């Protein structure tokens, strides 16, 4: 294993990559999961690797939706288990009505067992969806397999790192879908009723924090959420960051730019002028 110095500027990111690479060797995550992570990292970079105020608002609304739900469920795939099993356990502890269900795009019995074991090792007491028996109609992928005690009867479903088709199928069934996806342009973010554009671990921690705040006293009525505004906020955050970085880069670029021949002649002339005031 490579030794990574904690002083490395990308230490945290490198450690996470290392964990995911190990998870791909055990089969917990699929090779496609590494690619998905890379895409997520790129968007996190563009967002400044921190939760925007808009994302925190979305996380607070998500906590309120989950706390008010009759059958709230969180769907867990390989990446989510590898990245955030302790955070899923903390979420389930903060909201005892929350069902935790394994749901895989690349489903094999072995992977379903591995995801479930990772969750129970982290402290989740009950994991659904290991041998599901119900299919969501009209969805061709294995993500359609759901547990009759979990997603099959959910009224609110938290779907981190989801694919757009299943998010759409759940919305079509009348389930209120909360997504966590760093890409505001993904079909999942575009489809969800409450898109959280934030990094998985940060988002889960904030939702759990908000759930502990709400406690046994959820809001009396539905909390409205402006999904379009949340997506526009994320795009504007990226836009602002790119514009600021581009301005800074063009400023320092000028300062560092080597003079061409004409520039060199100009500065020699300027030097002569300065040196020969007499
Ligand atoms: O374990 P399986 O078989 O269910 O497969 C899981 C993956 C992730 C491979 C599967 O769901 C997949 O292919 O997902 P997509 O379609 O690549 O979508 C994943 C989305 O999650 C992308 O839009 C990424 O930008 C986003 N993403 C990746 N890592 C993070 C993330 N969003 C938030 N936090 C992350 N850490």
Instruction: Tell me: pLDDT of 133 over 70.
Output: yes
Q: How far is the CA of 200 from the centre of ligand 1 (A)?
A: 10
Mean pLDDT over residues 248-267, rounded?
A: 61
Residue owning the nearest CA to atom 21 of ligand 1: 161
Burial of 232 (0-12, 13-18, 19+ CB in 10 A): middle
Residue owning the nearest CA to atom 28 of ligand 1: 40
Taken as a whole, the chain contains a residue count of 278
Instruction: Tell me: pLDDT of 68 over 80.
Output: yes
Per residue in 71-123, pLDDT (tens digit) is 999 999 999 999 999 999 999 999 999 999 999 999 999 999 999 999 999 99
Q: What is the pLDDT of residue 6?
A: 85
Q: Which atom of ligand 1 approaches the CA of 104 most closely?
A: 4
Instruction: Tell me: pLDDT of 277 over 70.
Output: no
* CA pseudo-torsion sign 240, 34, 158, 153: positive
Q: How far apart are CA 189 and CA 208, in angstroms?
A: 21
For the Cβ of 40 lying below 6 angstroms from any atom of ligand 1, the answer is yes
The pTM assigned to this predicted structure is 0.90
Mean pLDDT over residues 8-29, rounded?
A: 93
Instruction: Tell me: pLDDT of 276 over 50.
Output: no
For the Cβ of 169 lying below 6 angstroms from any atom of ligand 1, the answer is no
Helix axes 11-26, 78-94, angle to 10 degrees: 110
Per residue in 197-249, pLDDT (tens digit) is 999 999 999 999 999 998 767 787 878 999 999 999 999 999 999 999 999 99
Residues above pLDDT 90, as percent of the chain: 80
Q: What is the pLDDT of residue 271?
A: 44
Q: How far is the CA of 212 from the centre of ligand 1 (A)?
A: 27
Residue owning the nearest CA to atom 31 of ligand 1: 40
Q: How far is the CA of 241 from the centre of ligand 1 (A)?
A: 23
């Amino acid at each position: 294993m490579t030794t990574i110095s904690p002083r490395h500027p990308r230490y945290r990111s490198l450690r996470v990559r290392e964990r995911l690479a190990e998870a791909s060797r055990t089969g917990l995550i699929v090779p496609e999961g590494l690619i998905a992570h890379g895409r997520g990292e790129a968007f996190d970079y563009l967002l400044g690797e921190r939760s925007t105020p808009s994302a925190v608002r979305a996380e607070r609304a998500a906590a309120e939706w989950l706390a008010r739900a009759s059958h709230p469920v969180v769907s867990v795939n390989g990446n989510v288990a590898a990245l955030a099993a302790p955070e899923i356990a903390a979420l389930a502890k903060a909201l005892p009505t929350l069902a935790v269900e394994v749901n895989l795009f690349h489903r094999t019995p072995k992977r379903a067992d591995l995801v479930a074991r990772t969750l129970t090792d982290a402290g989740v007491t009950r994991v659904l969806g290991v041998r599901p028996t119900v299919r969501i109609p009209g969805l061709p992928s294995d993500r359609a397999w759901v547990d009759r005690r979990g997603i099959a009867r959910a009224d609110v479903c938290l779907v981190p790192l989801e694919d757009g088709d299943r998010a759409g199928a759940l919305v079509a069934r009348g389930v209120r879908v909360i997504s966590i996806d760093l890409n505001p342009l993904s079909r999942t973010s575009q489809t969800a009723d409450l898109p959280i554009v934030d990094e998985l671990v940060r988002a889960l921690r904030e939702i759990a924090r908000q759930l502990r705040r709400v406690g046994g006293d959820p809001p009396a009525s539905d909390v409205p959420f402006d999904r379009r505004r949340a997506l526009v906020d994320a795009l504007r955050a990226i836009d602002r960051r790119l514009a600021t970085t581009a301005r800074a880069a063009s400023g320092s670029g000028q300062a560092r730019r080597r003079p061409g021949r004409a520039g060199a002649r100009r500065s020699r002339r300027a030097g002569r002028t300065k040196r020969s005031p007499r």
